[in-house]
Amino acid sequence: MTGLSGQTPASYKPVGLSRIQEKNRSLILEAALGEFSKKGFSGATVERIAADAGMSKSNLLYYFSSKEAIYNATLAHILEIWLTPLKTLNPLGDPADELAAYIRQKIELSAKFPEASRLFANEVMQGAPQILPVLETDLKRLVEEKCQVIEDWIDTGRMRPVDPVHLIFTIWATTQHYADFSVQIKALTGKDLSDPDFQRSTETAVTSLILNGAGLKWPRESDPGA
């Protein structure tokens, strides 16, 4: 397993994908996300993914040249959406607002796409065989940039001195935990993020813990107007 790139049938005429290709690739990726997140790379079978996608194994292999190719395409497909929230952390905004918004977005993603979270976790836990290069370049750059933002907030006295990288790891850990360990959470509380009330209470608790932990007032004092 090496590399991480898209995949197209060997021969093609139009610049883009045909209507059928578009639909089938999408069906496959959706089915693959389900299988890979549920069973891991080794545990998932091409046949099962094909069945979930409503086609024969042979046909699936017409669209993706190998199991590894499906896996990589699935990873690439979720990676962007997964890392987007951090990019929106705005240096010019209020630290409390910005961090609260980031936490909220991450919990939102965990609630909406728990399978994506588990797939990502699985990949990293196995040593990130496919996405290590991305982590070491793109993600590293992004994290360094945002650490600098937090550092500036600290230096201007807008929040308590906290190691920015640990703050980011803590936010990742807590928010993703609710998706990755949802089975355990359901076993212990009877609920998980699919319950809107539980999502709300999670958001409240996590945001409150982390923001207060970072020396920020939360919840913000009620808005100015009387």
Partner DNA sequence: TTGCATCTTGACCATTTGGTCAAATCACAC
Partner DNA sequence: GTGTGATTTGACCAAATGGTCAAGATGCAA
Residues binding a copy of itself (CB under 8 A): 38-43, 118, 121-122, 124-128, 132, 135-136, 139-140, 143, 160, 162-163, 165-167, 169-170, 172-174, 176-178, 180-181, 183-185, 187-189, 201-202, 204-206, 208-215
Nearer to a copy of itself, 27 or 103 (CB): 103
Write the interaction track for DNA spanning residues 13-32; mark x where CB under 7 A is met and - where it is not.
x----xxxx--x--------
Tokens standing for residue 197? 């009330």
Sequence-separated contacts (24+) of 118-122 with Cβ below 8 Å:
118/37, 118/38, 118/179, 118/180, 119/33, 119/36, 119/37, 119/74, 119/75, 119/78, 120/75, 120/78, 120/79, 120/82, 121/176, 121/180, 122/36, 122/37, 122/40, 122/41
- Residue 138 DSSP symbol: I
In whole angstroms, the minimum distance from the beta carbon of 191 to DNA comes to 33
Q: From residue 52, how far is each of 17, 30, 34, 60, 175 by CA, in Å?
A: 22, 9, 9, 11, 29
Nearer to a copy of itself, 51 or 143 (CB): 143
Write the interaction track for DNA spanning residues 64-103; mark x where CB under 7 A is met and - where it is not.
-xxxx-----------------------------------
- Residue 225 DSSP symbol: -
Map residue 35 onto helix, strand or coil. Answer: helix
Interface residue with DNA, options 26, 56, 84, 204 (CB under 7 A): 56
Nearer to a copy of itself, 50 or 164 (CB): 164
Tokens standing for residue 194? 């699919």
Nearer to a copy of itself, 38 or 112 (CB): 38
Residue numbers of the site for DNA (CB under 7 A)?
9, 11-13, 18-21, 24, 44-47, 55-59, 61-62, 65-68
